[in-house]
Structure formats: structure tokens, C-alpha cells
Copies of this chain bind each other. A is one copy, B any other.
Amino acid sequence: MARWEPDARGRLQQAAMELFRDRGYADVTVAEIAERAGLTKRTFFNHFADKREVFFANAQMFEEDVLAELAGADPALRPIDAAVRAVTRAGLKLAPYYEYAKARNAVLAVTPELRERDLVKSDRLARAMAGELVRRGASERTAGFAAEAALAVFALAAADWIATPAADLAGFMERALTDLRDAVG
């Protein structure tokens, strides 16, 4: 998989996530993030409004990619297949950010404020995905379940991938979807 070669924005993200992981999200300042990235506070604020935005930068990109993939998906795909394919393709774009993703999960696990925000964002993404599936012709009920299922499958597959990064995210997605089907079937 391609390594991530960060530009200024990426260096700020990486520096922030390492500081959050090592010192705790609450105690890290924007000045410290900029200093660790070898940049100025002014450059930080050219890219991000605050440290919460830097934490969620990739999550934001993921959300936008999922919705774009879903909007462009083959109309013949069933809702669950379109939803799983969209999160898989958006997730694959995050593959170069492995160290960042690993640090992010460690920070989330110990920071209730960020975990709550993450839940809210995930809920909003599920609703937006369901809306897109309804536009494709799915019923509200099918669309809602397919969107929630695809994100639940992604959460598990992403955790598997963080534990074993050399493996393929798409394979983990397939395995997690099979596990979901077995669990509810």
C-alpha cells in the first residue's frame, strides 16, 4: 500500500494525532501542534478551525467519499451492496494513513468527548447514506438498515485492519458482512 507523504495539512494532522495520543487530547494546544509539525499557528488556522477539526479531518473526508461513491454507484446494485461497496472504496483511500488511524483509535478510546462527537457524525452519515439509498429507489426501512449495517461492518473491518494492516480492507469487509448476516440471520 502507498505510504502517506504528508503536505502541510497532513503534517499538522499527524503531529496533532501523535500529541493527542501521547499527552491526552485535552492538554494539547494548537501552538504545540504547529510547533511539532514545524509550522506556524497561522498555517494551522489556514487549514483547521480548531483541534477538534484536525482530529476529525479524515473522518470528514471519509464521509464525503462515501456519499460521492454512493451517488455514483451502479443503479442495479442492491442497497446493502451499494452501501458496503461505498464504505469499502472510501475506506481504501484511508489505507495510507495507517499510523494516523491507529493513533486516532487510541485517542478515541480514552476521550469521551471525541467518542460522543464520533457517534454523532456516524449517525449523521448513516442518515445521509439512507437518504441517498432512498433516492436510488430503496424503501426508507431498507435504506436505514442497509446504511447502519454498512457502517457497523466498516467499524469492525477497520478495527481488524488496524490490528493487521498488511491485510486487505476489502477482505475484512467481506468477512464482517458475513459475520453480520450470520449474527442476524
* Chain A residues packing against B (C-beta within 8 Å): 79-80, 115-116, 119-120, 123, 141-142, 144-146, 148-149, 152, 156, 176-177, 179-185
Contacts and interface: CB of A to CB of B under 8 A. Distances in A.
Given A119-B120, A120-B119, A142 B185 contact: no
Interface of A is mostly: helix
Given A115-B120, A142-B183, A149-B180, 15 more contacts: A79-B183, A80-B185, A116-B119, A119-B119, A141-B176, A142-B182, A144-B152, A144-B156, A145-B152, A145-B156, A146-B184, A149-B183, A181-B185, A184-B184, A185-B185
Contacts of A142: 179, 182-183
A179 B144 CA distance: 10
Contact of A184 (B115, B116, B123, B145): B145
B183 A146 contact: yes
A25 B183 CA distance: 39
B141 A179 contact: yes
Contacts of A185: 80, 181, 185
Contacts of A144: 152, 156
Contacts of A79: 183
A156 B152 CA distance: 17
Contacts of A148: 148, 152
A80 B184 CA distance: 6
A119 to B, nearest CB: 5
A184 B119 contact: no
A182 B79 CA distance: 11
Q: Across chains A and B, which 3 residue pairs bring their CB atoms closest together, nearest first?
A: A145-B183, A142-B183, A149-B184
A83 B67 CA distance: 31
